[in-house]
Amino acid sequence: MAVETAEGYVKVIVFQLKDEEYAIEVDDVQSIEKMQAVTRIPGVEPYIIGVMNLRGVITPVMDLRKRFELESRPYDEATRILVLKRDNSDIGFIVDGANDVMDIAASNIEPTPEVVGGVAEEYLRGVIKLEERLFTLLHIDKILNKQDDKQRSGM
């Protein structure tokens, strides 16, 4: 499941998409950026909206709303790009907002239930319960895996 610290805690960044809260482990996130200019590129998956120049590094940008097949909305002042480092390259995830960094006890992370509204279950690593809040821990490798798309669409 998640990588635990020596104290049995997982440090996560909590962000919003639509009316839901999601979490990604801090170790996966290189930076959180304000929305900036993105250059569109032809012939890519519809959820890849283009590339941005982030401090001299050309970084592909994925709209997580589109990836999860949620309705789109205009970007605003709260919109953020979570820049992740995967396999020696960067990728940006556009989210509605990101403002919490939390230490979550591993005991608060439960397996994903069979029925989850909105986001396909294979993208989720678990559900985090914290007092009155409930949010899902995302499985980054599955979100980035194009092969899953082809299998789902029957190609």
Instruction: For residue 2, tell me if it sits in a domain.
Output: no
State residue 34's pLDDT score.
96
5: pLDDT confidence band, cut at 50, 70 and 90?
very low
Task: Return the percentage of the chain with pLDDT > 70, whole number.
Answer: 83
The answer to whether 101 and 2 are in contact (CB under 8 A) is no
Report how many domains make up the chain: 1
Q: Which residue has the higher pLDDT, 14 or 121?
A: 14
- Average pLDDT value for the chain: 84
Instruction: For residue 3, tell me if it sits in a domain.
Output: no
The position carrying tokens 């499941």 is 1
Three-state DSSP state, 150: helix
Based on its alpha-carbon atoms, the radius of gyration of the chain, rounded to whole angstroms, reads 15
Instruction: For residue 105, tell me if it sits in a domain.
Output: yes
Quick one: which of 132, 141, 72 has its CA closest to 108? 132
Instruction: For residue 116, tell me if it sits in a domain.
Output: yes
Instruction: For residue 139, tell me if it sits in a domain.
Output: yes
Instruction: For residue 65, tell me if it sits in a domain.
Output: yes
Residue 35 belongs to domain spanning: 9-153
For residue 86, what is the domain's CATH number? 2.40.50.180
Instruction: For residue 1, tell me if it sits in a domain.
Output: no
85 forms bridges with which residues in the sheet? 90
